[in-house]
Structure 1
Amino acid sequence: MAGGLVALLDDVAALARLAAASADDLMTAATRAGSKTVGVVIDDAAVTPGYVVGLPPARELPIIAKIAIGSLRNKLLFILPAALILSAFAQWALTPILMLGGVYLSFEGVEKIIKSLRGEKAIKEVARINDPAELEARLVGGAIRTDLVLSAEIMVIALNELAEASIGTQALVLALVGVVVTIAIYGVVGVIVKMDDVGLRLWRSGGTAAGLGRAIVRAMPLLLTALSFIGTAAMLWVGGGILIHGLAHFGFAMPEEIIHDLAVAAGGSVSIVEWAVAALCTGIVGILAGTIPAAATNLKPSGKH
Structure 2
Amino acid sequence: MSGLFALLDDVAALVRLTTASLDDVAGAAGRAGAKAAGVVVDDAAVTPRYVQGLKPERELSIIWRIARGSLINKIVFILPVALILSQFAPWLLTPILMVGGCYLAYEGAEKLWEYFSGHSEHPEERDEKVATDPAEHERTVVSGAVRTDFILSAEIMVIALNEVAAEGIVSRAIILAVVAVAITALVYGAVALIVKMDDAGLALAKRGSGPVASFGRGLVKAMPIVLTTLSVVGVAAMLWVGGHILLVGMDELGFSPIYDLVHHLEVAVADATGALGGFLGWLTNTVGSAILGVVVGAVIVAVAHLVPKRKKKKKNDTDDDAEAAGTAGA
TM over 0.5: yes
Distance 1:43 1:24, change over 3 A: closer
The match for 2:326 is none
Name the SS of the counterpart of 2:203 in structure 1.
helix
User: Per-residue deviation at 1:73?
Assistant: 0.6
SS at match of 1:39: helix
Q: Which moved more, 1:178-187 or 1:122-131?
A: 122-131
CA distance in 1, matches of 2:64, 2:103: 25
Larger Rg: 2
5+ unaligned residues in a row in structure 1: which ranges?
Answer: 1-20
Amino acid at match of 1:126: R
The question of whether the paired residues in 1 share the 8 Å contact of 2:32 and 2:164 is answered with: no
**How do 1:244-263 and structure 2 match up within 5 A?**
244-263=247-266
Q: What is the aligned partner in structure 1 of residue 126 from structure 2?
A: 126
- Verify the 8 A CA contact 1:30 1:180 in the aligned structure 2: no
Q: Residues 125-163 of structure 1: CA distance to partner in whole angstroms, max 9, x if unpaired? A: 534422111111110111111111111111122223444
Q: Does 1:222 align with 2:221?
A: no
What TM-score comes out, normalization by structure 2 length? 0.80
Q: Which runs of 5+ in 2 are unaligned?
A: 1-19, 318-330
Give the number of the structure with larger relative contact order, counting CA–CA contacts within 8 Å between residues 6 or more apart.
1
| Aligned residues of 1:239 and 1:286 also touching (Cα < 8 A) | yes
Alpha-carbon spacing, 1:295–1:109, altered in 2? closer, same or farther (3 Å): same
Runs (4+) off by over 6 Å: none
Find the aligned partners of 2:174 and 2:146 in 1 and give their Cα distance.
23
Over residues 217-252 of structure 1, what are the superposed CA-to-partner deviations in whole Å (9 max), with x where a residue is unaligned? 111121111111111111111111111111221233
2:75 aligns with 76
- What is the aligned-residue identity percentage? 51
The answer to whether the 8 A contact 2:66-2:145 is kept is yes
**Cα deviations across residues 43-81 of structure 1 (Å, max 9, x unaligned)?**
331232222222221111111001001100111111111
TM-score norm. by structure 1 comes to 0.86
Residues 283-298 of structure 1: matches in 2 within 5 Å?
283-298=290-305
2: CA distance between counterparts of 1:209 and 1:56?
Answer: 26
CA distance in 2, matches of 1:131, 1:120: 22
Q: State the match for 2:246 in structure 1.
A: 243
The residue type equivalent to 2:280 in the other structure is V
- Aligned equivalents of 1:292 and 1:146: distance in 2? 19
Q: Does 1:136 align with 2:166?
A: no
Which residue of structure 2 lines up, in the alignment, with residue 58 of structure 1? 57
Number of corresponding residues: 285
More helix by share: 2
Question: Residues 178-236 of structure 1, C-alpha deviation per residue, up to 9 Å, x if partnerless?
Answer: 11110110011000110100111111112221111111111112111111111111111
Query: Structure 1 residues 277, 217: CA separation in 2 closer, same or farther (over 3 Å shift)?
Result: same
